[in-house]
């Protein structure tokens, strides 16, 4: 039995908008599973080693629920183009390079290390359409201690010469990939039709059947950009709305993640909520590639399950602190555009979406709940100036927006310490 005890200022998000704060508290895990957060150490743990973090903040680590691994080398590029042009000009040519397994190894090793040192311990990630590179990505995430889902991307139309499979290849390679990736303990497969314009009906149908037969989750993109939506309605005149192009093939259920949903109207949002589909809000990307300002506060009010994603490289950074802050800012822009008829996200709400909301997709309970695997970060803020003693809540709120150099001291993922600052 291995006991882990972290002592410090423990802050967690047990519900949307709620923070639990325990100063000089103890976060205890046994064999990587959280037992509880305590003001005084329970007697059964007396004599166990305590990792004393002083007054550092001990927070939940992040869940990045939408990002594209092969786009990591193009971070910050092509940001003057809207989605469809950006895909053709920058994204597809970059992803095509991942036919090269040596490149994949090098890029994915660096990406996995950067995720760990940014405190992101759970991911739902798109690879490229290449089976071998996807297996390499899974290996690199696994060995860096990251947990979550990775998808081999499917695309049998509109990818251009170097980034397109035939329908048969796409189905065959997906089945082969699924056979080959069964043994990773923390990184699992997710069915990943890129988006409707990339996948024929025949491919969508096969992917729905595979997901159903092998009980796999699903990730894709939905209603990100108005040009994209118009294209989907041309491709699918039989569907009244974009979401139906997924629903008709069994790709629309309570284990489906849909990125963006910027332009989902009331009817589409109701379909999302009723099916228990998870929205992944990607605020940085929505702004960078000119997609729009998603009505996240409205979605939450309607009972839609919302999580957050960096969506690199539509998003320009991996830090989920910055993604949380960007989501809060985007919700304020939405409120202003709505003539103040809608509300915005508070810091505590933004934090919940960046941590607990995504963790729930993986079957965890919100916050540092007993029974959850230990996913935590230790954050130092003592070098930032203050004119008076700050409350723990004020320290936490400031750190969401602003952090001192080297603020992240340690990262725990599924009970293992995967990063420690020197
Ligand atoms: N829609 C289809 N592919 C992509 C992608 O790679 N990034 C974004 N942001 N949207 C997409
Ligand atoms: Fe995306």
Q: DSSP string spanning 220-249? A: EEES--HHHHHHHHHH-TT-SSTTHHHHTT
Length of the chain: 422
Quick: pLDDT tens for 195-206: 999 999 999 999
**First CA to last CA across the chain, in angstroms?**
28
Probe target for ligand 1 pocket from 77, 221, 245, 281, with the most ligand atoms within 8 Å of CB? 221
Given a cut of 90, whether residue 17 has pLDDT beyond it is: yes
Question: Given this model, what pLDDT does residue 161 score?
Answer: 78
Neighbours of 91 (CB within 10 A): 23
How many whole angstroms from 190 Cα to the centroid of ligand 2? 15
Overall average pLDDT of the 247-275 stretch: 98
- Which DSSP symbol is given to 88? I
Confidence bin at 110 (pLDDT 50/70/90):
very high
Quick: pLDDT tens for 258-270: 999 999 999 999 9
Which bound ligand lies closest to the C-alpha atom of 153? 1
How many whole angstroms from 66 Cα to the centroid of ligand 2? 6
Question: Given this model, what pLDDT does residue 212 score?
Answer: 98
SS3 category, 34: strand
SS3 category, 276: coil
Question: Given this model, what pLDDT does residue 262 score?
Answer: 98
How many whole angstroms from 221 Cα to the centroid of ligand 1? 7
Overall average pLDDT of the 55-79 stretch: 97
- Among 110-119, 158-167, 171-180, 317-326, the least confident range: 158-167
Given a cut of 90, whether residue 160 has pLDDT beyond it is: no
Given a cut of 90, whether residue 182 has pLDDT beyond it is: no
Quick: pLDDT tens for 345-388: 999 999 999 999 999 999 999 999 999 999 999 999 999 999 99
Q: Please answer whether residues 375 and 352 qualify as being in contact, where contact means their C-beta atoms are separated by less than 8 angstroms.
A: no
Confidence bin at 422 (pLDDT 50/70/90):
confident
Probe target for ligand 1 pocket from 194, 258, 285, with the most ligand atoms within 8 Å of CB? 194
Q: Please answer whether residues 4 and 29 qualify as being in contact, where contact means their C-beta atoms are separated by less than 8 angstroms.
A: yes
Given a cut of 90, whether residue 80 has pLDDT beyond it is: yes
Overall average pLDDT of the 26-50 stretch: 97
CA distance 234 to 304: 28
Given a cut of 90, whether residue 149 has pLDDT beyond it is: yes
Question: Given this model, what pLDDT does residue 104 score?
Answer: 98
CA distance 326 to 318: 12
Given a cut of 90, whether residue 13 has pLDDT beyond it is: yes
Averaged pLDDT score across all residues of the chain: 97
Question: Given this model, what pLDDT does residue 383 score?
Answer: 94
CA distance 104 to 100: 6
CA distance 324 to 347: 8
What residues does the ion ligand 2 have nearby, CB within 5 Å?
259, 311
SS3 category, 122: strand
């Amino acid at each position: 039995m291995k006991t882990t005890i972290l002592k410090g200022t423990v802050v967690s998000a047990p519900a949307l908008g709620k923070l639990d704060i325990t100063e000089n508290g103890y976060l205890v895990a046994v064999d990587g599973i959280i037992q509880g957060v305590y003001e005084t150490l329970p007697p059964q743990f007396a004599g166990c080693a305590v990792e004393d973090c002083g007054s550092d903040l001990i927070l939940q680590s992040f869940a990045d629920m939408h990002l594209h691994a092969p786009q990591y080398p193009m971070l910050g590029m092509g940001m003057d183009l809207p989605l469809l042009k950006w895909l053709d000009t920058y994204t597809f040519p970059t992803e095509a390079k991942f036919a090269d397994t040596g490149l994949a190894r090098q890029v994915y090793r660096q990406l996995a290390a950067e995720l760990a040192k940014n405190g992101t311990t759970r991911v739902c990630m798109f690879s490229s359409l290449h089976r071998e590179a996807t297996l390499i990505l899974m290996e690199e995430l696994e060995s860096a201690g990251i947990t979550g889902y990775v998808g081999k991307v499917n695309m049998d139309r509109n990818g251009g010469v170097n980034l397109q499979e035939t329908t048969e290849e796409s189905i065959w390679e997906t089945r082969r990939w699924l056979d080959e990736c069964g043994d990773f303990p923390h990184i699992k497969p997710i069915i990943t039709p890129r988006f409707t314009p990339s996948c024929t009906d025949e491919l969508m149908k096969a992917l729905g059947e595979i997901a159903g037969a092998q009980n796999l989750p699903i990730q894709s993109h939905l209603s990100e950009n108005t040009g994209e939506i118009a294209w989907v309605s041309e491709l699918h005149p039989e569907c009244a709305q974009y979401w139906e192009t997924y629903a008709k093939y069994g790709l629309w259920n309570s284990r489906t993640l849909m990125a963006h949903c910027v332009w989902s109207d009331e009817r589409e949002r109701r379909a999302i909520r009723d099916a228990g589909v998870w929205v992944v809000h990607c605020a940085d990307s929505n702004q960078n590639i000119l997609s729009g300002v998603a009505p996240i506060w409205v979605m939450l009010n309607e009972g839609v399950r919302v999580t957050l994603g960096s969506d690199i490289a539509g998003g320009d950074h991996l830090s989920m602190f910055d993604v949380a802050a960007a989501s809060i800012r985007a919700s304020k822009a939405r409120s202003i555009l709505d003539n103040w008829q809608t509300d915005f996200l508070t810091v505590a709400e933004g934090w919940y979406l960046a941590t607990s909301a995504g963790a729930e997709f993986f079957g965890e309970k919100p916050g540092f709940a007993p029974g959850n695997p230990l996913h935590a970060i230790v954050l130092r803020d003592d070098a930032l100036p203050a004119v008076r003693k700050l409350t723990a809540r004020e320290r936490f709120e400031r750190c969401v927006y602003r952090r001192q150099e080297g603020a992240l001291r340690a990262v725990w993922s599924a009970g293992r310490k995967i990063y420690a600052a020197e």
